[in-house]
Structure 1
Amino acid sequence: MIRKQYSAALTATCVILGVIIGVQFNTVKQQRTTTENQRLSEATAALNQLQAEHDALLKQNEALEKTLKDYQEGNFGEEMEQLLTFAGLTEVSGTGVTVTMNDSSTKGSGDMNAYLVHAEDLLAVVNELYAAGAKAVSINGQRMVGNSAVNCAGSIVMVNGVRVAAPFEIKAVGDAAVLDSALHFPGGVIDNLAPWGIEITVRKETTVIVPAYTQTALFKEKEGEE
């Protein structure tokens, strides 16, 4: 009798263990399936994002290739010409003024350097011309650009690293009447230099030619210094 009870209890225990193991197996299987599905969803989302980024890069590349092709075919010739003009790399002609500056012919008292045309005097005229709308300016044939340097080395004036001497001829392309008025404005640059006897003449002209900037070595030198 006891053996039968033991056998029944053992059988019941085995059945219960079997049920528990079965439930755990199904639970683990479901968790594994859920984890695999989650990983698959994440991988799919990442793949979709990469595909979208790839498509965007392809479109950007196509746009850049089209832009390059347009430039090569000259479809942006006008824009390119404007950029070259702005950079001072092309000759500019049109109406404008020619300004001639020379040292004073009178000999006053005190420091004689005060009666000479200096770099700051040239820059004052150039700045006034640009402020009045000049499209291009040159000093003794040297085109003024963004990184142009005008300085003095003793009595010598250097423009773009090139030695220039009086008389200084400044050419500017623009509205001749406006440029002339700007220089003759009361209290302006001509009035400020008058007490020192600096000789300045301004001629309005229908055709003024300002040459292109040619000192390319100056760009390289400045880049090397940086």
Structure 2
Amino acid sequence: MTRSIVRPARLAAIGVFALAGLIFWVSFDTAQGTNLRSDSSMLRLSDLIQERSRQNAELENQAAGLRRQVDSLARRDDGSTRGEDRRIDALEKRAGLKKLTGQGLTVTLDDAPSNATAKVPGLPDPEPNDLVIHQQDLQAVVNALWKGGAKGIKVMDQRLISTSAVRCVGNTLILQGRVYSPPYKVTAVGDPDRLRAALDAAPAIQNYQEYVDAYGLGWKVEQHKAMTLPGYSGTVDLRQAEPVE
């Protein structure tokens, strides 16, 4: 009898879908009037979501370790020259699979206080959506940093690659199978002046700054002379759809 084997990377993918489903359910139930601060079922679900996120991180680490072993064994007897190995290393660095060290910036975004009021006379009191970080805010920062010539970007503690997607469900960030709450940190290696100029020029960030001034959303930009981004450790499989004839 053959036994099916579920690889760590596939387990991580399954965990991501389960985690997203839980968060969507919580968001739907909250929309029906559930009080997240006092409802015991919501508190249990919150604990479960955090536990699933922790399990996903463990599976990701296991998968990364197995990939390193496979890569090491493959390179040992692949017959490649030193020049070819250097070229592969350079491509892996460009793809975000290697550590990256250099100067750069960290941008921190945070929710406004829940009891915030208008800081500018004449403005209406804020709606709940005016006081929280949205997906488009994080995406605007990431896109601006890429446009400013970032050599690599990390969101929270995870490196971004070409297939990474910044997704928010309610007031929660889901990134590569793990869950995060604000404040959100986006770190980029690159020329600090170019990165800062790109942030200042982005229309979406200019709009965000209006809410910073009006209602107290968090915004901080820190410059670093030297820092290190981790290499991406998740799956790098790229799949695409093909037309069925």
Give 1:161's match in structure 2, choosing from 171, 174, 177. Answer: 177
Displacement after TM superposition at 1:114 (Å): 2.5
- Unpaired runs of 5+ residues, structure 2, are 1-77, 119-124
Partner of 1:125: 141
Give 1:80's match in structure 2, choosing from 79, 88, 97. Answer: 88
Partner of 1:190: 205
Structure 2 residue identity aligned to 1:141:
D
Partner of 1:47: none
Distance in 2 (CA, whole Å) between partners of 1:89 and 1:116 is 32
Structure of higher CA gyration radius? 1
Give 1 or 2: higher helix fraction: 1
Give 1:209's match in structure 2, choosing from 225, 228, 231. Answer: 228
Please report the RMSD computed on the Cα atoms of aligned residues, expressed in angstroms. 2.3
Structure 2 residue identity aligned to 1:74:
R
- Percent identity reads 29
What is the TM-score of this pair, normalised by structure 1?
Answer: 0.61
Displacement after TM superposition at 1:190 (Å): 3.5
- RCO comparison, higher one (Cα < 8 Å, 6+): 2
Distance in 1 (CA, whole Å) between partners of 2:204 and 2:136 is 11
Partner of 2:129: 113
Contact kept, 8 Å, 1:149 with 1:161, in 2: the verdict is no
CA offsets, 1:157-180, max 9 Å, x none?
A: 111221111111111011111111
Q: How many residues align?
A: 153
Give 1:95's match in structure 2, choosing from 84, 93, 103. Answer: 103
Give 1:136's match in structure 2, choosing from 148, 152, 158. Answer: 152
- Unpaired runs of 5+ residues, structure 1, are 1-67
Structure 2 residue identity aligned to 1:181:
A
Structure 2 residue identity aligned to 1:99:
V
Structure 2 residue identity aligned to 1:127:
N
Displacement after TM superposition at 1:208 (Å): 2.3
